[in-house]
Structure 1
Amino acid sequence: MSNTKELSKQIISLVGGESNVISVFHCATRLRFKLKDNSKADKAALEKTPGVITVVENSGQFQVVIGNNVSTVFEQIMADTQLQDAEKKNDSDEGEGSTGILGRAVDVISSIFSPILGALAGAGVLKGLLALILSLDWISNTSGTYLVLNAASDSVFYFLPIFLAITAARKFKTNQFVSVAIAGALIYPAVIAAVDSPGSLSFLGIPVVLVNYSSSVIPIILAVWVQSYVEKGFRSIIHESVRNILVPMFALLIVIPLTFLVFGPVGSLISDGLASGYTWLYNLSPLVAGAIAGAFWQVFVIFGVHWGFVPIMLSNIDTIGYDTMLPILSAAVLAQAGAVFAVFLKSRNTQMKALAGSSTLAAVFGITEPTIYGVTLKLKKPFIYACIAGAVGGAVIAVGGARALAFSLPGLLALPTYIGTGFTWAVIGLVIAFVLAMLLVLLLGFDDPAAESAAPAAQANPASTPSVIQKEVVVSPLNGTLQTLNTLPDEAFASGAMGKGIVIEPSSGRLTSPVNGTVTTVFPTGHAIGITSEDGAELLIHVGVNTVKLKGKHFDKKVQEGDQVKQGQLLLEFDLKAIREAGFVTATPVIVTNSAGYLDVLKSGEAEVKAGEYLLTLVV
């Protein structure tokens, strides 16, 4: 819990503080920030933060990749900040910047669909399992058991407009309950019944083109988007004493008829067009379509444009009853799983092996971001091999005509949704993708980080002189008394999780450089500074505990990121007395964040130290 709390604080601090955040939400593995000014975010420091896999900037979003623990970190951020109201407070800032039409479109789609993907995927898998149970004659489709299970698996899809109304209302900043009422009108029982009736309907003499809107996607999104403008218009002219009643009334009165007359039919035409266009391209050459989708799907994921395909998949299932893209994409996912599993088997780097092992299971079940950013893309060659294997597996699946009968996240768990036409080919294609990627990585290899880190040591310590040991001395950046790390009331530092080091209880507010090197990180709040020495030691000096809460008050930075500094040069001044009077612990850890690369980190045995005196010895 404390680690999650500290991580959430560090993330908010490093994205430029709470005041720099317009909005934040999360998907399966990422915190997706929309920032006022991306230049205020410290991307380099975030990528070095324990618990953060990497940082990606695209589609107008500043994305912090956390992995499977992202929901816990997000909840902690919501508990520690006022960002629940960030969208309302910063409404005027929304849409500013040069993200482009494509970037904004991807942002809208991802914001609307990502919150409900879990429910869609879970219901899709359940729907597939139910189809399997029926095909095995384990239950009858007239039994009460089937009725209940079918309702459980089908309700998300049948009432999809209502789910989308909620998320779209959040994105377009409009009344969620009015949005749900609009969606409810689209799937109102009498309306659904009228679709199948032989008679025609009109509204004020205007013919109404009735469509079955259950499971539809685009009509409700268009409707809620228009609703946001209708509400803003009436909110500006209606007196506040009756605003809460009349604005929803006029929104319902205007938007629902317009949806039945315009947005609904237009949205349905768009959905039909997307489904027909994809089917036409797929039918031109299933082999080519499967190879391209299998090869480049994870590339689309990297750039965030994969969200644009979600409405197409849902439209396919809604209009023609199945989708051929989802099984192909599962080949791309299983290929990444095979590649990362091979890295786990082959790598001699303990840290990489552990990350690859945990990422393999997540990738098999469809969560590939930790795999891509933490392992395969970082090592480059495994990512390329996985794309090749994904292309081969995708081509096999496409040629076999595999289909998904319900939406689910591409991966092994989605197999039940492929039962039916081409199911055997789907299984064969997924096996090929996984095994081929694994074999390519095992046979062709990759640049193992263990081999790279071992090379300098081999040069510095040739076999003829194995007793030679190199050392780097770090001097104290402060005047004060020395303490061990485990005395610090901060588990992230005290446990040594961030690296070995020592704690100084300062007696003055002047912090100087402990080495000759480069300033790599200066936290916006000024409470922490990172330095890389000329010999490669990575040092983090964190003044006090939880002093990020001071938001820069009492800190005066004297250097910037990228500055070259000399040992003893002034880096920071801080008001020691004021920080203590504010109730903060001022004990300052000096951490060697890459201490795992050293044979040992030896500490001064003195009780007190002055700035510039011996503090640590790093043994290579």
Structure 2
Amino acid sequence: MDQKQLAQGILTGVGGKDNIEKAWHCATRLRFYLKDDKKADTPTVEKLDGVITVVKSAGQYQVVIGNAVASVYDALADLAGISEDEAPVDKKAEKQAQGSIVNRFIGFISGVFTPFLGAMAGAGILKGLLALFTALSWMSTKSGTYEILYAASDGIFYFLPIFLAFTAAKQLHVSQFVAVALGATLVYPTLVATAGKGTVLHFLGIPVVSATYTSTVIPILLAIWVLSYLEPVLDKIFPEAVRTIFTPLLSLAIMAPVTLIVVGPIGSAISNVLAAGVMGVYNFAPFLAGAIMGAFWQVFVIFGVHWTFVPLMMNNIAKMGYDPLLPILAAAVLSQGGAALGVFLKSKNQKMKALAGSGVITSLFGITEPTIYGVTLKLKRPFYCAVASGAIGGAIIGAGAVHTNAFALPSLLAVPGYTGNGVVIGLLGIAVAFFGGAILTYLFGIKKEDNVADTASVSQDGAITIDAPVAGTLIPLKNVNDEVFATEAMGKGIAIVPTDDTVKAPVSGTISALYPTGHAIGITADNGAEILIHIGINTVQLNGQFFEALTKQNDHVTVGDPLVKADFAQIKAAGYDPTVMVIVTNTASYAAVTPTSDTEAASQPILTLTPQTETTTEGATAANV
């Protein structure tokens, strides 16, 4: 599926462009504020080729795409008419879409940092590399090369209030360029030099607190928040003819001194308290802090609350010149990569192996969403193994007091930014997390039922294979004691006299029909096959007795997932034939449906579907039963 088709599928799945209050993207996810979440068809979106999963967090509807998210967003923006020059936003509707104040705060922080997070991470890595090169005497700090590259790496951090002003203004729907002008005021060279000398300025006789705001986060965010209340008032005062001049004029004339006299010092005080608080907790028990953050950082990512830590980490670097949390997070990130490596080495499922292999690579560079949602969390045990190894690696890094002097995505690329002897201990902690995750996952992380070949995929010759849904003895469909199935009126297939009580998914796909009695399940496979599993003959008359559904309609299942628990001993005792029929209800879509020659069913393929060379009319669907 190309990017435009994928974007169209997502747009339709979220309820169309009229249901989108706001849309943007981060490194791996499309993020939406929807007007009505109920209009979104999440199972359909998750089934799209190119979508890893859908996450609902912090009031946002998040579609996890992976590394191709930017091109998918561009296609979505074209289809939905989304542009940087957006129409005026209904703030009340947006607040309703975002939900609680906590969700709005997390969404705000996410929206502020996401647009330039990649540039900031790249600059941080460059800054770390320059520190490494000078420490190894590969480069002199007095050389022109160093000065130019250092300016490129440090500029975004030095002038951080300007970048934050621009993105915060967009989130709060005030003039972005007035906000940028305010941010530039805070880092204006003359004021920075004056603050550095400790000289006290006065504004209309009021003393201005001497402070330097370069590289700071909280003061400018507070200032733009105050501006978001002032600007609408000024817009109401001035007529439209002069509003474009006088609103910015008074906004700057009022906000510049208010920020320097009141808002800035309050923001600086908050920054100092937060930095002291984070370091207080860290210094109390670095080993424990490392273990907790190493274990649960990816859990924070899943719920979207990790954004609340970004200002804290950047604030630490601004106030203290270093941060102890970012190196710990590298252990959490690399542990997921290690778990993905364990899955890659152990899994027999080719699709899962491919996802895990790419997940290892992206994790090394600090991107874990495709790994988490596509591999470790999907299989569950590998995620737990990653949590355990991340805790151990994080504890090592915390106990070693590893610090970084530059913000970068937690990854191998961030290691050059580790200060002093922290590089060695940091690498040790990362190695323990990565290889520990791989070893634990390889030994304990994959359940036997998850470690089966991807039999629902298409082979090199185009044939599709269907697994046995239950263990037992295989018999030809024509021998079944039911005329409808025996004559193949419903479609071709095979039957099983079961020896196990759990009926499992024979293909990966979506539950298209699940009857209240539990005796029949329809599955639309990801590859297009329509499968009906009919448990017993005339068992509909039991009205659900002796059947327990373990899934529900519209759920997406993978090969081997349990679907129904059937007490076949009781079914037989009640006088019913327990034979399980597996029918391809769209048989006409295939050139041939060939049963296996085996006589016993386990986890092997029992049907082979040969595709048509030309399009044909599909047969009956499972919903017709």
- TM-score, length of structure 2 as denominator length: 0.77
Matched with 1:425 is 425
Matched with 1:536 is 523
Shift of residue 364, structure 1, vs aligned partner: 1.2
Residue 74 of structure 2 corresponds to residue 59 of structure 1: no
Residue 298 of structure 2 corresponds to residue 298 of structure 1: yes
CA–CA distance in structure 1, aligned partners of residues 250 and 40 of structure 2: 42
Matched with 1:435 is 435
Matched with 1:573 is none
CA–CA distance in structure 2, aligned partners of residues 283 and 118 of structure 1: 30
Q: 1:517 aligns with which of 510, 513, 520?
A: 513
- Residues 21 and 86 in structure 1, CA contact (< 8 A), matched pair in contact too: no
- Residues 125 and 414 in structure 1, CA contact (< 8 A), matched pair in contact too: yes
CA–CA distance in structure 2, aligned partners of residues 294 and 538 of structure 1: 38
- Residues 589 and 612 in structure 2, CA contact (< 8 A), matched pair in contact too: no
Matched with 2:111 is 111
Matched with 1:510 is none
Shift of residue 536, structure 1, vs aligned partner: 2.7
Matched with 1:181 is 181
**What does 1:423-502 align with in structure 2 at a 5 Å threshold?**
423-447=423-447, 449-451=450-452, 457-458=467-468
For CA contacts below 8 A with separation 6 or more, give which structure has more relative contact order. 1
Matched with 1:249 is 249
**What does 1:43-82 align with in structure 2 at a 5 Å threshold?**
43-82=42-81
Comparing 443-452 with 35-44, which one deviates more in the overlay?
443-452
Shift of residue 540, structure 1, vs aligned partner: 9.9
- The amino acid that maps onto 1:17 is G
CA–CA distance in structure 2, aligned partners of residues 607 and 171 of structure 1: 50
- CA deviations on 1:556-591 (whole Å, 9 max, x unpaired) are xxxxx969xxxxxxxxxxxxxxxxxxxxxxxxxx99
CA–CA distance in structure 1, aligned partners of residues 260 and 145 of structure 2: 36
Shift of residue 89, structure 1, vs aligned partner: 4.2
CA–CA distance in structure 1, aligned partners of residues 608 and 229 of structure 2: 63
**What does 1:131-170 align with in structure 2 at a 5 Å threshold?**
131-170=131-170
- CA deviations on 1:361-396 (whole Å, 9 max, x unpaired) are 001110000000110001000000100000000000
Shift of residue 262, structure 1, vs aligned partner: 1.0
- Residues 26 and 115 in structure 2, CA contact (< 8 A), matched pair in contact too: yes
**What does 1:85-484 align with in structure 2 at a 5 Å threshold?**
88-96=88-96, 99-447=99-447, 449-451=450-452, 457-458=467-468
- CA deviations on 1:92-148 (whole Å, 9 max, x unpaired) are 412115722221111110010111111111001000100111111122211211111
Shift of residue 338, structure 1, vs aligned partner: 0.3
CA–CA distance in structure 1, aligned partners of residues 230 and 614 of structure 2: 71
Residue 9 of structure 2 corresponds to residue 13 of structure 1: no
Gaps of 5+ in 1: 476-498, 501-514, 520-532, 542-560, 564-589
CA–CA distance in structure 1, aligned partners of residues 220 and 432 of structure 2: 40
Inter-CA distance 87–378: structure 2 relative to 1 (3 Å threshold): farther
CA–CA distance in structure 2, aligned partners of residues 469 and 438 of structure 1: 48
- Tell me the secondary structure at the aligned position of residue 425 of structure 2: helix
- CA deviations on 1:25-64 (whole Å, 9 max, x unpaired) are 1111011100111111111111111111011111110111
Shift of residue 606, structure 1, vs aligned partner: 10
- Residues 385 and 445 in structure 2, CA contact (< 8 A), matched pair in contact too: no
- The amino acid that maps onto 2:254 is I
Matched with 2:32 is 33
Shift of residue 170, structure 1, vs aligned partner: 0.8
- Residues 604 and 614 in structure 1, CA contact (< 8 A), matched pair in contact too: no
Aligned residue-pair number: 523
Shift of residue 469, structure 1, vs aligned partner: 12
Inter-CA distance 89–323: structure 2 relative to 1 (3 Å threshold): closer
Q: Where does structure 1 differ by over 3 angstroms across 4 or more consecutive aligned residues?
A: 89-92, 448-475, 515-519, 537-541, 595-609, 613-617
Inter-CA distance 444–263: structure 2 relative to 1 (3 Å threshold): same
Shift of residue 86, structure 1, vs aligned partner: 5.3
- The amino acid that maps onto 1:54 is T
Inter-CA distance 92–474: structure 2 relative to 1 (3 Å threshold): farther
Shift of residue 445, structure 1, vs aligned partner: 3.4
Inter-CA distance 603–458: structure 2 relative to 1 (3 Å threshold): closer
CA–CA distance in structure 2, aligned partners of residues 334 and 368 of structure 1: 9
- CA deviations on 1:444-488 (whole Å, 9 max, x unpaired) are 13125353987994566858879999998778xxxxxxxxxxxxx
Inter-CA distance 605–227: structure 2 relative to 1 (3 Å threshold): closer
Inter-CA distance 598–301: structure 2 relative to 1 (3 Å threshold): farther
- Residues 473 and 616 in structure 1, CA contact (< 8 A), matched pair in contact too: no
- The amino acid that maps onto 1:88 is P
**What does 1:549-564 align with in structure 2 at a 5 Å threshold?**
none
Inter-CA distance 207–55: structure 2 relative to 1 (3 Å threshold): same
- Tell me the secondary structure at the aligned position of residue 523 of structure 2: coil
Inter-CA distance 473–328: structure 2 relative to 1 (3 Å threshold): farther
CA–CA distance in structure 2, aligned partners of residues 615 and 337 of structure 1: 44
- Tell me the secondary structure at the aligned position of residue 202 of structure 1: strand
- Tell me the secondary structure at the aligned position of residue 451 of structure 1: coil
Comparing 308-317 with 217-226, which one deviates more in the overlay?
217-226
Shift of residue 177, structure 1, vs aligned partner: 0.8
- CA deviations on 1:279-304 (whole Å, 9 max, x unpaired) are 00001011110000000000000000
Inter-CA distance 598–469: structure 2 relative to 1 (3 Å threshold): farther
Matched with 2:582 is none
CA–CA distance in structure 2, aligned partners of residues 298 and 435 of structure 1: 17
CA–CA distance in structure 1, aligned partners of residues 479 and 158 of structure 2: 69
- The amino acid that maps onto 2:119 is A
- Tell me the secondary structure at the aligned position of residue 94 of structure 1: helix
Inter-CA distance 19–184: structure 2 relative to 1 (3 Å threshold): same
Sequence identity of aligned pairs in percent?
Answer: 46
- The amino acid that maps onto 1:132 is L
CA–CA distance in structure 1, aligned partners of residues 527 and 423 of structure 2: 54
- The amino acid that maps onto 2:278 is Y
CA–CA distance in structure 2, aligned partners of residues 187 and 98 of structure 1: 33
- Tell me the secondary structure at the aligned position of residue 229 of structure 1: helix
- Residues 21 and 32 in structure 2, CA contact (< 8 A), matched pair in contact too: yes
- Tell me the secondary structure at the aligned position of residue 452 of structure 2: helix
- The amino acid that maps onto 1:451 is V
- Residues 13 and 41 in structure 2, CA contact (< 8 A), matched pair in contact too: yes
- The amino acid that maps onto 2:253 is L
Gaps of 5+ in 2: 457-465, 492-506, 529-551, 555-587, 594-603
- Residues 340 and 376 in structure 2, CA contact (< 8 A), matched pair in contact too: yes
Shift of residue 433, structure 1, vs aligned partner: 0.5
CA–CA distance in structure 2, aligned partners of residues 89 and 591 of structure 1: 48
CA–CA distance in structure 2, aligned partners of residues 68 and 466 of structure 1: 47
